Every structure is written in C-alpha cells, then in structure tokens.
Amino acid sequence: MTKRVALIYDVVIVGAGPAGLCAALYAGRGLLKAVTIERGAPGGELLNTDLIEDYIGFESVKGWELAQKMTEHAKQFGAEIVTDMVERIHRDADGWFDVETARGDSYRSQAVILTAGGTPVKLGIPGEKEYAGKGVSYCAVCDGAFFRGERLAVVGGGDAAVEEADYLTRYASKVHLVHRRDEFRASQLLQERAFSNPKIEVIRNTVVPEIVGNDTGVTHAVLEDNSTGMRSNLDVGGVFIFAGFKPNTQLVDGHVDHDAGGYLITDNRMMTSMAGLFAAGDVRSQVTRQITTAVGDATTAAIAVEKFLKGLREGDGKAKK
C-alpha cells in the first residue's frame, strides 16, 4: 500500500474507548490539534458491556448509551475521530512520532496518547480456535442472544467472568461458571448477585483443557478437577472465555518500560519511558482497570501533553523525558 503524505497534529490519540474519548475532550478544551484513531465504533469495551452501575453520576446506564454520550461530548469540543487501524507507532530521532495505519495514512506529532486497550487472552486449548464463532466467544453482550435456551459454560473468575455469567442467564437455560481456583477475584457485589442467581452453577477448582464440537458447533467442554485430575464432560452449546486481557502495546516500535504483564509503566503525568508517549486506561500498569480510572488517566495525560508541548515550544524543540 502506498504511504500518503503525513498529516501533522499536536497529538495523536490511539483508541476511542473511555480513555481515548476523554483525552480527545481535554485535548479539545486545551485547543490542541488532535486526532483520535479507532479501528471500530467509538466506545471500546463499553460496546461489549450491557449494564454499567459503577460509573459515578449514573446509577445504571447501558454500555452503548454511555459510549454515545462520551462520543458526543468529545465532539462538542472538536474531537476528530478517524476510523482506521493503527499498525505502528514509531518515534524518530528528532522526537517526532509517526503513527501509521492500515489504510496507508501517516499521522505525525510530537506527542501520542496510547489508549488502545487490550485483546482477550486465549486459553490455548484444543477446540478453542476451531470453534471460535461457532460456540466459543469472548463477548457475552455480542453473542449471548444466539444461545437462547442453551446450556453455557463461562470460564474465568474475575469481574468480567462473573458479570457476564449473570448477563447470559437472560438467554441461557443454565450457566456453568468454571473457575480454576476456589476463590474468585471478582468484586463481592458481583459475586453475591451472580451466585444467588438460580440459573448459575459454580464449579470451582476446575479447568477446561479442551472444547469439543461437531459441524454445527460446540457440543461439550471437558472439565478437569485440579485436586484429583479426573475428567468429565459438560454438555453445553457454547463456551464463553474471560481469562483476562493482553494490553495492545505491541503497536509501539521500540522498547518502553512495562511490568510483567506487558502493561506500560508511567510517571504521574502518564508519560512512559519514551518521551512524548503517554499511556492511559487499560494499557497502563495500575492496581485496577475501570472506566473511572481510564478517564482519570486520560484527563491527566491530555493536560500533561499540553504542558509537554508548551515546554518544547519554549525550549529547544527537542523532546526530553
């Protein structure tokens, strides 16, 4: 694909989830020339979440509705949102970044705010890849309605697994929540709600080593007891996997300090070890990853970018850490 002439901006924001949209809003308020690049519809993981009850000011709001409100709010401050897929973020020796996309466009700026989120962690077991889209799913909101009246398995023990298991009961006749440990990592509120649901059966200390099916889709999940090693078959029409997310930090060309999970380490300005590269939301190393923390990160990052660029203009024009 032919590379087009680079488009010049003050800051390029990669990703339009809650963090990206918030960063776009604050960049607009700061009168920065900014562009936000998102591979799909604005909203990120909000679009895969049915009901949100832990975002301050909204006792209960649909994920798509909050995404729409955030998008509209950002656009009120002049947010420019481009639908494209970022393939590479490269920092030149002169301190300028080139953000390259799948369409062959190049966006050039002295600051980048990375809010690209993550992708679902795969179990890497037989049958997972073979039946992806044919009974294996990583998004209950996206695919739940296709399993009306079915028995389903949900694999995982965090907030997403427990919350999505509860969500799936509106379609499924039974949901088996399978977790490899005895204790769940999910918040107590989510556990109490899900475990009191008569449609949910909790299976502890158990892993799923294989997913089996036929030409029509998934027929059962193989269960293995961690204590005894004994295996059994669980007849289900679908397996929903919530084993965590891997941050989309591979977009950055070059080394950036990160933790053991690959999440970027930042200072209190949200700047990474690469001068001019800021991180916000699910790509950043922190204690918890919520909508509230994402927008908090983004607020700090956008304001810090404004000060960073001002420092460059008043200095020698070279980016420094």
Nearest CA to 1 out of 125, 140, 102 is that of: 102
Q: Do domains 7-120+245-314 and 136-241 have the same CATH topology?
A: yes
Q: In the structure encoding, which two tokens stand for residue 153, read together?
A: 């398995």
Residue pLDDT, tens place only, 235-250:
999 999 999 888 999 9
Q: At 19, which helix (H) or strand (E)? A: helix 18-29
Tell me, what's the pLDDT at 3? Answer: 57
Over residues 143-169, mean pLDDT: 94
Q: What is the mean pLDDT of the chain?
A: 93
Q: What is the pTM of this model?
A: 0.79
The pLDDT confidence band at residue 6, using thresholds 50, 70 and 90, is: confident
Over residues 268-287, mean pLDDT: 96
pLDDT at 2 over 80: no
Residue carrying the six token digits 């301190």: 95
What angle is formed at CA 272 by the lines to CA 268 and CA 278, rounded to 5 degrees? 80
CATH class of 136-241: alpha beta
Residue pLDDT, tens place only, 167-209:
999 999 999 999 999 999 999 999 999 999 999 999 999 999 9
Q: For residues 262 and 257, what is the distance between their CA atoms, to the nearest angstrom? A: 9
Annotated catalytic sites, by residue?
A: 139, 142-143
The pLDDT confidence band at residue 107, using thresholds 50, 70 and 90, is: very high
More confident residue, 318 or 219: 219
Q: In the structure encoding, which two tokens stand for residue 57, read together?
A: 């000011």
Q: For residues 221 and 167, what is the distance between their CA atoms, to the nearest angstrom? A: 20
Question: What fold, for 7-120+245-314?
Answer: FAD/NAD(P)-binding domain (3.50.50)
Q: In the structure encoding, which two tokens stand for residue 11, read together?
A: 């800051």
% of the chain surpassing 90 pLDDT: 84
183 Cβ contact list (under 8 Å, min separation 6): 157
Q: For the chain, what are the domain ranges?
A: 7-120+245-314, 136-241
Q: For residues 91 and 273, what is the distance between their CA atoms, to the nearest angstrom? A: 12
Tell me, what's the pLDDT at 47? Answer: 87
Q: For residues 94 and 296, what is the distance between their CA atoms, to the nearest angstrom? A: 30
The pLDDT confidence band at residue 153, using thresholds 50, 70 and 90, is: very high
Query: 209 with 222: CB under 8 angstroms?
Result: yes
